[in-house]
Amino acid sequence: MNQNIAVVGAGICGLCTGLALAAKGNLVTLYERDIEPPEGGADQAFFGWKRRGAAQFRHPHAFLGVMCNMLEKNYPDLIELFWEAGARKLSFSDMLPPELLLQYEPEPSDDDMWMLMCRRATMETVLRRYVEGTHNVTINNTTNVVGMTTVEKREGITVTGLEVQIDRGEIEQVSHDIIVDASGRGTKFPEWLDALGSGVTTEDDDADIVYYTRHYQINPGEQEPSRHSKERSAGDLGYMKYGVFPGDNGHFAVIICLPNHETELREAIKDPDQFDDICNAIPGLKPWVSPSKSTPTTSSFGFGDIHAIWRHFVNDGIPVALNFFAVGDSAVRTNPLYGRGCSTGTIHAHLLARILDESSDPVERALRFDEETENELRPIFIASLNEDKQGIKRAKAILEGKDVENTGSFKQWLRAAFGDAIGSAAREQVHVLRGAMRTFNLMEKPGDFLKDSRIRWTILRYMLRGRAKNNRARFQRGPRRMEMLAIAQQSNSQAAA
């Protein structure tokens, strides 16, 4: 059933949606309001591409295991293009510290547990050029979608096309059999549907954080610091989270995440020199940002307004619109700090392609897509939302000077103690880490690894040894909040002088 399908947005999710739909024999047109990537390689894309439509364009990204395997299975030549562009493969064995490597015995499923790491600009450029080479896909650049066309049928509102504006010219109407919204967090489709009286119900929870990124490149002749030293390059200080994200061609990014209420630290970290001063105060980051080891390639820049969003396009068993589907961040959005967005968007895209291929009835398609989205993505969404809420509680307790470990009810304490035991066991037991990493890579539903009785007994044993010892796996060594505020104040005074 070859169809003429429009995909709005040519970001990572839109491009993967185009690939999935084209693989089923459909004629696909992607509408993208930004310009195409510049000629050249990864650095030209990162420094030269004016990608205004993607707010996270220069923030760290990763392809988790579920996405890597999906792409490798369906588009093996695409994966080869990523390696040629300098992307890095992080396998399960690469994630093991030396002490765990001594007890490591590979299992067949370990080969599927790998991540692809490179800068977002590299990801998008490689994907874009691959999609452009697909014969039944067209990408219309500098094309702004300003509305949609619909008709009212017995079954309800049916979307029939789009209103587009090319290079700020006159508005034109284009017809398509199916419209797919992959325009991301800034999507306009929900308000357009609301204006037609077909309301989209939205769950919206503020993560109450903002994060800041700065990019660096390893100096010539230098090697990256070990990721398995005692001082970890990713961690949680309670009032601040941090991490190093490897990129392509010797580049890497440092991300620092702060609660919205940390106004003084947020103001300080906007300054690139103070960003480095804060990094140098954290033992796990200091080896990376040392001037002898690396050179900054950007200033520091932030990303806020971070919400967990779930949009319902079926209300009480009735689709809000037919022949219309929203994928990725347009429909389901989680905190980007967890790195799940690209992967959940790709899962969503291939789910849609399969349903459109298996069914021709517009109502059945809408209901099935809603149901299978719920089955596949809801557990990931809820797990991410719970992590957000726990982070908000911890940060608030630290701000108020409370004992983080003894805040809340016994049930909350027990849940936190269980989480600490998992974290500690994963650092010392390969089989627990393997289960946790399968969850992290979205290769199974959150918490499914706890169905393994060996893992459950191991975690129970760790709980019995006491929480004080276990929570060291969660909180890393570094300045306390007041110490970090003093560092920021001193850095600010030196900058002013």
Per-residue pLDDT tens listing for the chain (497 residues):
589 999 999 999 999 999 999 999 999 999 999 999 999 999 999 999 999 888 889 998 889 999 999 999 999 999 999 999 999 999 999 989 888 888 899 999 999 999 999 999 999 999 999 999 999 999 999 999 999 999 988 878 999 999 999 988 899 999 999 999 999 999 999 999 999 988 899 999 999 999 999 999 999 999 999 887 778 888 888 899 999 999 999 999 999 999 999 999 999 999 999 999 999 999 999 999 999 999 999 999 999 999 999 999 999 999 999 999 999 999 999 999 888 999 999 999 999 999 999 999 999 999 999 999 999 999 999 999 999 998 898 888 888 887 666 656 777 778 878 888 998 899 899 999 999 999 999 999 998 999 999 999 999 999 988 877 777 666 678 899 999 999 988 877 776 65
Cα–Cα distance, 472 to 456 (Å, whole number) = 20
* Side chain identity at residue 173, one-letter code: Q
- State CA 403 to chain mean position distance: 31
Candidates 3.50.50.60, 3.40.50.2000, 3.40.50.80, 3.30.560.10; correct CATH number of 1-61+119-206+306-399?
A: 3.50.50.60
Give the model's pLDDT for residue 455.
Answer: 95
Place of tokens 């903002």: 210
Instruction: Show me where the domains of the chain are located.
Output: 1-61+119-206+306-399, 208-305
What is the per-residue pLDDT for 496? 66
1-61+119-206+306-399 shares its CATH topology with 208-305: no
pLDDT, position 468: 75
d(Cα 392, Cα 238) in Å, to the nearest integer?
Answer: 10
pTM tops 0.85 = yes
- CA pair distance 240, 112, nearest whole angstrom: 32
Domain 208-305 has CATH 3.30.9.100: yes
Q: Long-range contacts for 205-208 (Cβ within 8 Å, ≥24 apart)? A: 205/307, 205/308, 205/385, 205/388, 205/389, 206/306, 206/307, 207/306, 207/307, 207/308, 207/335, 207/337, 207/388, 207/391, 207/392, 208/259, 208/260, 208/261, 208/388, 208/392, 208/395
